[in-house]
Amino acid sequence: MNRVRIVLLVLVAVIGAAWPSPGWAQTRAAPVDDIDLDLVPMQPDFSLVTLPTTLRLPRYKSAFRVTHRFGRPLAEGSFGSLAEDLFGLDSGAQIGLEYRFGLMRGLQVGLHRTSDRTIEFFGERDIWQERDGHPVSIAAVAMIDGTNNFKDSYTPALGAVVSRTLAPLGTVYIEPIWVNNSNPLPSELSDDNDSVLLGIGTRLRVRPTVYVVAEIIPRITGHNPGANQAAFAIEKRAGGHSFQLNFSNAFGTTIGQIARGGTSNDDWYMGFNISRKFY
Amino acid sequence: MQRKMLAGALVLALSAVSSACDEKLSDVTGPTPNLQPTLSSIQRDIFSSTDASGRLACTQCHSDAGGRTPSGGLNLREGVAFAGLVGIASRGKPGAVRVIAGDPDNSYLIHKLETRSDIVGVRMPRGNGPFLTPGQMLVLRRWIALGARND
Quote the pLDDT of residue B48.
Answer: 93
φ and ψ at residue A78, rounded to 5 degrees: -80, 165
How far apart are alpha carbons A125 and A105 in whole angstroms? 9
What pLDDT score does B67 carry?
86
Mean pLDDT of chain A: 89
Q: How far apart are CA B119 and CA B129, in angstroms?
A: 17
Measure CB to CB from residue B37 to each of A19, A181, A188 and give the nearest one: A188
Distance from CA of A93 to the nearest CA of B (A): 28
Chain A residues whose CB is inside 8 A of the B16 CB are 3, 6-7, 10
CB atoms within 10 A of CB A223: 21
Instruction: Quote the pLDDT of residue B17.
Output: 62
Flag the least confident range among A184-193, B5-14, B111-120, B134-143.
Answer: B5-14
CA A225 to mean position of chain CA atoms: 20
pLDDT at A18 (0 to 100): 47
Is residue A270 scored above 80 in pLDDT? yes
Alpha-carbon gap, residue A232 to A49, rounded angstroms: 7
pLDDT tens readout for residues B76-113: 999 999 999 999 999 989 999 999 999 999 999 999 99
Res. A13: pLDDT tops 60: no
Q: What is the pLDDT of residue A152?
A: 87
In terms of pLDDT, which residue wins out, B16 or B65? B65
Q: Is A7 on the interface with B (CB under 8 A)?
A: yes
Is the CB of residue A158 less than 8 Å away from at least one CB of chain B? yes
Give residue-wise pLDDT tens across range B28-57.
Answer: 898 999 999 999 999 999 999 998 888 999
Whether A132 and A125 have beta carbons less than 8 Å apart is answered as no
Q: Model confidence over A177-208: pLDDT tens digits? A: 999 999 988 988 988 899 999 999 999 999 99
Per-residue model confidence (pLDDT) at position B10? 66
Task: Using a pLDDT cut of 70, give the percent of chain B over it.
Answer: 89
What pLDDT, on a 0 to 100 scale, did the predictor assign at position A134? 95
Is B46 in contact with B33 (CB distance < 8 Å)? no
pLDDT band at A32 (very low <50, low <70, confident <90, very high): low
CB contact under 8 A, B13 and A184: no
How confident is the model at residue B24, as a pLDDT? 87
Instruction: Please say if the pLDDT value at position B151 is more than 70.
Output: yes
Residues of chain B in contact with residue A155, where contact means CB-CB under 8 angstroms, are: 21
Inter-chain contact A3–B12, Cβ cutoff 8 Å?
no
More confident residue, B76 or A6: B76
**pTM for the model:** 0.80
From A9, A114, A98, A113, select the one nearest A57 (Cα to Cα): A98
How confident is the model over A69-96, as pLDDT tens digits?
A: 998 888 888 888 888 888 778 888 999 9
Gap from A271 CA to chain B (nearest CA, Å): 31
Does A189 sit within 8 Å of B142, measured CB to CB?
Answer: yes
Q: A10 touching B, CB under 8 A?
A: yes
CA distance A18 to chain B (A): 6
Q: Between B9, B27, B36, which is nearest A14 by CB?
A: B9
Backbone angles phi, psi at B50, to 5 degrees: -80, 130
Among residues B80, B88, B41, B47, the alpha carbon closest in space to that of A189 is found at B41
As a whole number, mean pLDDT of residues A243-256 equals 95
From chain A, the residues in CB contact with B142 under 8 A are 188-189
Q: Would you list which residues of chain B are within 8 Å, Cβ to Cβ, of chain A?
A: 2, 5-6, 9-10, 12-14, 16-25, 27-28, 36-37, 138-139, 142
Measured between beta carbons, which residues in chain A are less than 8 angstroms from residue B28? 185-186, 189
ipTM for the predicted complex? 0.75
**A188:B10 CB<8 A:** no
Q: Which residues of A touch B18 (CB under 8 A)?
A: 180, 194
Question: How far is Cα B11 from Cα A28, in angstroms, rounded to an integer?
Answer: 31
What does the pLDDT read at residue A15? 55
CB neighbour list of residue B105: distance below 8 Å, 6 or more residues apart: none
The residue that leads in pLDDT, B74 or A28, is: B74
Distance CA B122, CA B34 (A): 28
Task: Write down the pLDDT at residue A24.
Answer: 45
Rg of chain B in Å (alpha carbons) = 20
